[in-house]
């Protein structure tokens, strides 16, 4: 993907996504994610040049998932969620082209911005609360068909099945699954759209705050507290553990902004989903490293995931220890 000839061939393949006669040149390639490639492109039609971003999904995602994500982006944008405008979709290429939005997505760079401009942390926390409230009030009847993960019991069943599939024992996660079964929260009044991966790395940020919410491939129907809990996991604070929201803000500020924007914050459910998503992510990391151990993959990134499993086990024990 890095040599000029390969980029030229890919640019020619992308050109039909846009208006007839458009010429595409690739300006840069972002770091390759686990599920997608991100390309920064220039689209020229006559004398007009448009900067765009093209995301190409990995084979793990079906073509319908691309169309579903594009539909979610359009619906979210119409409801006031900051998202890039969709320019084109190609299901056969598994690609979505969207407008280029200026901003920073690399977590450590965002946190350095927050360190240099303390008021940015407060502003970004407020923006996240408002964006999450907007996502959760989107009418689900108008959405494409999505997985329904609102039932805590079914969610824990899936976690247990994943745990049972691993060849390496994980007694801490087994303990967490038992805790989740014993402490299932009361359900929300209604299932809502849940982004599923709302955290640093999937947010575009500049000095003014939140610019765009990215990467909707894990969206589903569920409990809105799942999104807030995921944003607050220690794993997404990148060493700034004194700021419980993404390493940049306080939970009180997030909760207040969310409620003021129309969300309903449920403390018991937030605590439960903190444990549930800690177990989910820990098992996900364990599954990645097992793929390497079983010879199904040779990625150093997946192999390194094994070092993170114990971090999630520690976080889980801290979350469920008696007396808290």
DSSP characters over 191-239: -EEE-S--STTSEEEETTEEEEE---TT-EEE-THHHHHHHH-GGGSTT
Same domain membership, residue 245 and residue 161: yes
Adjacent-strand bridge partners of 251: none
Structure confidence at residue 324 (pLDDT):
45
Same domain membership, residue 17 and residue 151: no
Q: How confident is the model at residue 230 (pLDDT cuts 50, 70, 90)?
A: very high
Q: Rounded to whole angstroms, how far apart are CA atoms 50 and 19?
A: 12
- Is residue 75 scored above 80 in pLDDT? yes
Same domain membership, residue 209 and residue 117: yes
Same domain membership, residue 255 and residue 121: yes
Q: What's the whole-number average pLDDT of the chain?
A: 89
Lowest mean pLDDT among 8-22, 154-168, 179-193: 8-22
Same domain membership, residue 215 and residue 83: no
Are 83 and 212 in contact by the 8 Å Cβ rule? The answer is yes
Q: Which residue has the higher pLDDT, 196 or 324?
A: 196
Same domain membership, residue 277 and residue 198: yes
Q: How confident is the model at residue 226 (pLDDT cuts 50, 70, 90)?
A: very high
| Tally of domains within the chain | 2
Structure confidence at residue 322 (pLDDT):
66
Same domain membership, residue 35 and residue 169: no
CATH of the domain at 32: 3.30.200
List of residues 6+ apart from 130 with CB closer than 8 A? 257, 258, 260, 261
Q: Which DSSP string corresponds to 227-249? A: HHHHHH-GGGSTT-TTSTBTTTB
- Is residue 209 scored above 90 in pLDDT? yes
Same domain membership, residue 171 and residue 238: yes
Same domain membership, residue 301 and residue 183: yes
Are 137 and 258 in contact by the 8 Å Cβ rule? The answer is no
Q: Which residue has the higher pLDDT, 307 or 295?
A: 307
Domain boundary among 99, 125, 141: 99
Domain boundary among 37, 68, 99: 99
Angle (deg, nearest 10), helices 225-232 and 118-136: 160
Same domain membership, residue 213 and residue 94: no
Q: Rounded to whole angstroms, how far apart are CA atoms 252 and 245?
A: 9
Q: How confident is the model at residue 135 (pLDDT cuts 50, 70, 90)?
A: very high
pTM, two decimal places: 0.90
Structure confidence at residue 132 (pLDDT):
98
Lowest mean pLDDT among 33-37, 144-148, 216-220, 239-243: 33-37
Same domain membership, residue 221 and residue 85: no
Domain enclosing residue 52, as ranges: 4-99
Mean pLDDT of 40-63: 75
Q: How confident is the model at residue 9 (pLDDT cuts 50, 70, 90)?
A: confident
CATH of the domain at 245: 3.90.1200.10
Same domain membership, residue 302 and residue 170: yes
Q: How confident is the model at residue 77 (pLDDT cuts 50, 70, 90)?
A: very high
Domain boundary among 40, 68, 99: 99
């Amino acid at each position: 993907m890095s040599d000029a000839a390969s980029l030229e061939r890919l640019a020619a393949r992308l050109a039909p996504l846009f208006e007839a006669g458009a010429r595409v040149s690739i300006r840069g390639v972002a770091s390759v994610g686990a599920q997608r490639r991100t390309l920064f492109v220039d689209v020229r039609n006559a004398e007009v040049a448009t900067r765009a971003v093209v995301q190409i999904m990995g084979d793990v995602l079906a073509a319908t998932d691309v169309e579903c994500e594009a539909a979610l982006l359009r619906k979210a944008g119409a409801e006031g969620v900051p998202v890039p405008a969709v320019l084109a979709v190609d299901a056969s290429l598994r690609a979505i082209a969207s407008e280029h939005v200026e901003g920073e997505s690399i977590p450590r760079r965002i946190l350095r911005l927050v360190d240099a401009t303390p008021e940015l942390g407060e502003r970004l926390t407020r923006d996240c609360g408002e964006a999450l409230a907007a996502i959760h009030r989107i009418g689900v009847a108008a959405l494409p068909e999505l997985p329904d993960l609102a039932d805590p019991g079914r969610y824990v069943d899936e976690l247990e099945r994943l745990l049972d599939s691993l060849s390496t024992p994980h007694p801490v996660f087994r303990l967490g699954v038992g805790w989740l079964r014993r402490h299932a929260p009361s359900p929300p009044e209604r299932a809502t759209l849940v982004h599923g991966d709302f955290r640093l790395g999937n947010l575009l940020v500049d000095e003014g705050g939140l610019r765009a919410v990215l990467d909707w491939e894990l969206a589903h129907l569920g409990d809105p507290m799942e999104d807030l809990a995921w944003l607050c996991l220690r794993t997404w604070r990148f060493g700034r553990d004194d700021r419980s929201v993404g390493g940049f803000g306080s939970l009180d500020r997030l909760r207040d902004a969310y409620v003021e924007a129309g969300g309903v914050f449920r403390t018991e459910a937030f605590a439960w989903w903190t444990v549930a998503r800690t177990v989910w992510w820990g098992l996900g990391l364990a599954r990645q490293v097992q793929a390497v151990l079983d010879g199904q993959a040779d990625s150093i990134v997946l192999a390194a995931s094994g070092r993170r499993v114990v971090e999630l086990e520690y976080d889980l024990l801290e979350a469920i220890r008696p007396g808290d």
